[in-house]
Each structure stands twice: as C-alpha cells, then as structure tokens.
Amino acid sequence: MYLGLDLGTSGVKALLIDEDQNVIGSGTGTLDVTRPHSGWSEQDPAHWIRATEDAVAALKASHPKKLAAVKGIGLSGQMHGATLLDGDDKVLRPCMLWNDTRSHVEAAELDSNPIFRALSGNIVFPGFTAPKVVWVKNNEPEIFAKLRKVLLPKDYLRLWLTGEHVSEMSDAAGTSWLDVGKRDWSDDLLNASGLDASYMPSLVEGTDVSGSLKAGLASRWGMGSQVVVAGGAGDNAASACGMGTVAEGHAFVSLGTSGVLFAANNAYLPNPASAVHTFCHALPGTWHQMGVILSATDALNWYAGITARKPAELTDELGDSLRAPSGVTFLPYLSGERTPLNDSAIRGSFYGLEHSSDRASLTQAVLEGVAFAFRDCLHALATAGTRLDRVTAVGGGSRSIYWLKTIATALNIPVDVPADGDFGAAFGAARLGLIAAEKADPRAICAAPATEKTVEPDTRLTADFDAAYRRYHNLYPALKGVQS
C-alpha cells in the first residue's frame, strides 16, 4: 500500500492506493483561512498537523489492516507559503499562503533586480515565498531576527513526519530562490533576499526518498517501521503526476480554488515576460509551464454565497445547452491576478448589467469570466513557446459539463474528461510514494487515465465567444485606470 497526503488550502486529503494503483480509500481533514487584513491570507501550521491526523484517522477507521501494509508516503501541498521556524523548529508566525498579496511592494523590488528573472525563470509574484520573507524582514524585524529555517507548507508536514528539513524541485521552484534550470538553490537570489543557504531545506527530486516516517507516528497509525517518505511535489505538479501529464505535449486545465493551465515540457523554457510560471516538474529532468489564475471555483463559490445558492444549483440552472454570452462580463480578479497581468491590486467586477440581467445570466458571466482568464493563459503559454491542441479537465469545477463546454468554446480546443476515478494531487502524491519505495520507473507509474468523454468547442458560438472575449480583454485596462 502507498499513501498520498495532499495539504490543500481548504483541507488535507489522505488517499491510499495498492501496488496496482487501485484507490483503496481516502479520508479528509478540514482547514480554514484567516484574512485579518485586505490582501492577507494565513493559516496556522499546527492546523495542518491536526487536519492530517484527522484525515489519516478517517482512513484508519475504514481500512486499519490496509494501513499496516503502507511502504511509501508521498506529499503534495499548496505552493509558495512561507512557514518560518526558529532554531528549535518552532513556528514564528502564521504561514502566509499562496494567495497572500501583502508583499507586492517587496515583490516589485526583487523583480526589478534582473537576476531573479534570469535565474528563477519567473516574475517575482507577490504570492511567491521570497517577497513574503522580505516583508517580514521589513515589517516584523523581531520575528526575522529569530528566523532560522523557511519551509513550504508540505515540507513543514514532512518535518513533522520525518524530522527532516527537505524540499523538492517542483515546490522549491515557486519560491524565487531556486535556479530552475540548474535545479538548485541560488546563493545570489538568497543573498538578494537577505538570506543564505543555511535557511533552506536540502533538495531532492520528487521521486526520491526524503526520509522515513517517525516510529511514534508509524505506531499510532498502525504502520510498519520502514515507511519511506518521497520528495513529493507542489500541488499542480502532483496533480500532473496523477493525470499522467509528465511528457511533452500533455496538458490539463484545473478548476480548483485557483485555476491552472498546465503543460509538461522536456526542457527548461523560461519566458518571464509572459507571466507564465516555468517550474521544475516532480520527475527528474522534466519541467512544466503554467498559466495561473487566482480565482476559479473560488469565484463561483463567492457568487454562490452572495446568492445563497449552492454552486451546483447555479450551474444546473443554466441547463445542458451552451448559451451565447449575454452581454454581462465578469472579471474574476477577486484577489488580484497572476497570468498574464501580474497585478495584485486589481479587483473583480461585473460589467454590462441591465434590467434583464437575472441570476442565471450572472452565473453564466462568472463561468465565462473564468474561461476567458484561461484563454489569457493559453495565449501566454503560446508566447512562451507552448501550443496546446487539447487539455484534460481536473478539479471540482470540472463536474459541471456546462462549464467545460464554456471552456472548450472559449479556448477553441477539445476538453477531455477522464473516466471516473480520483486522479488529483493526493493520487499523484501516492504515485510518488510508490516510485520512491519501489524504485519504480516514474513514467511507467505516471500513466494517463482513460478518457470517458470529450467536450468539443461549440463552433456555432465561436464568433459570439470571440466578441465576448474581446470585451473581457478590453475591460482590464479600463478598470485598472479607475482603480489606480
């Protein structure tokens, strides 16, 4: 048996697979996000431990004998979070999460230093780890003075599991401290942030062994004494391992809290000016590019809260047949935007409201706004040298066929829907645990699932969607002028 632990923003998922990669069972633990000020987003790392205990306890309750057969654990986690520890590994402050944008000034200052784009291959976004630590240095000097180690969220979980300070390439690539081409920490980037290599964990590939499960945890969970913990991956790279998106030309669109258009690459292809993320993949010798939008299902969940309806009720209200855009446009910039805008200050809006604008037309606009944000990402990936012919849909939002029709038509490419199964980040993490424990061939293990159906673009509405996208695209500079 092999266990995948996925530390997300809203919870921890524990997923168990057997040697044939059949999903045996899963358990979850919930998490909350605190937002004490505009642009802030934080979690207490102690809550990650509690949620992991809850997730494993749920799994143990349903499959106690199966846990005894676990040989490997893989980790996946939300990226970019700054978990700050003192010399005794005590947490110094709440972790600043991936969607925390308070450090936009520090990010701009770091990004103005050309070595960051040259070595990291990326813009220094406010959500990345480096500017957050510089923000602490500037605003909480008493905490910075005690700082001895910076860990990403899943790597803090690893510290609790194994006692080791270790990260891996895919997650480390999102800190702005990694030389992504060389797959190693950069002394120059660390020094430019007021740090040095001693503050960093050691690095392994995602398929490597990073340590062994502590005896006390193994005993409490009913596992053996020789359980290895794999390097693992950042959440998107882990999802790619779960989806089999590990080779050139393979891509997926993720409709989660945030949205991701992810393409695997066999070479390092940075193009920071496009605001595309170019990161190491979880498999050795591979990289990937991502266009990232900060609010995908988060936008629909926000609107559902406003309307006092469940998201599924709102999408069901639209029916099965794709509608032409109504004239109402939604910009999904609820917490700023990454690709291609790199704008932490911009905020969302509805445009084109009129007396006939009902709840359904606004729901439709929200789905279209997210789809058009993915179209921005598609153009950005093309600028960075990656052209996509089709994508596979993953994430909670992919359960809405209407939304998938909207995305397929907005992008003008087919969207494949995998056969029933759990192919997300927790499954990818479990695969990495299997590879590390058995020294298995990564590409043989990370195979793509069967496709259940393909959602084709609705060519009858191509012209209507093109016109609606132009309106969407033109609204940002106008709104930027109002909000600046």
Catalytic residues: 235
Q: At a CB cut-off of 8 Å and minimum separation 6, what does 454 contact? A: 390, 414, 415, 416, 417
Peptide bond into 340 cis (omega under 30): yes
Asked if 199 and 150 touch (Cβ cutoff 8 Å), the reply is yes
Q: Which residues contact 116 (CB under 8 A, 6 or more apart)?
A: 110, 122, 124, 176, 189, 192
Contact 368, 330 (CB under 8 A): yes
CA angle 183, 185, 189 (to 5 degrees): 120
Positions of E strands within 99-231: 149-151, 166-168, 178-179, 184-185, 202-204, 209-212, 228-230
Query: What is the spatial distance between Cα 254 and Cα 263, in angstroms, rounded to a whole number?
Result: 11
**Residue 461 φ then ψ, to 5°:** -110, 10
Pairing of strands 209-212, 42-43: unpaired
- Inter-residue contact 84 to 93 (CB < 8 Å): yes
CA distance 101 to 84: 17
Distance CA 476, CA 470 (A): 11
Element of type H or E holding 127: none
Nearest CA to 430 among 232, 172, 185, 251?
A: 232
Antiparallel, parallel or unpaired: β 202-204 and 166-168: parallel
334: which strand partners?
336
| Residue (of 30, 14, 10) closest to 424 by Cα position | 14
Tell me which DSSP letter residue 472 carries.
H
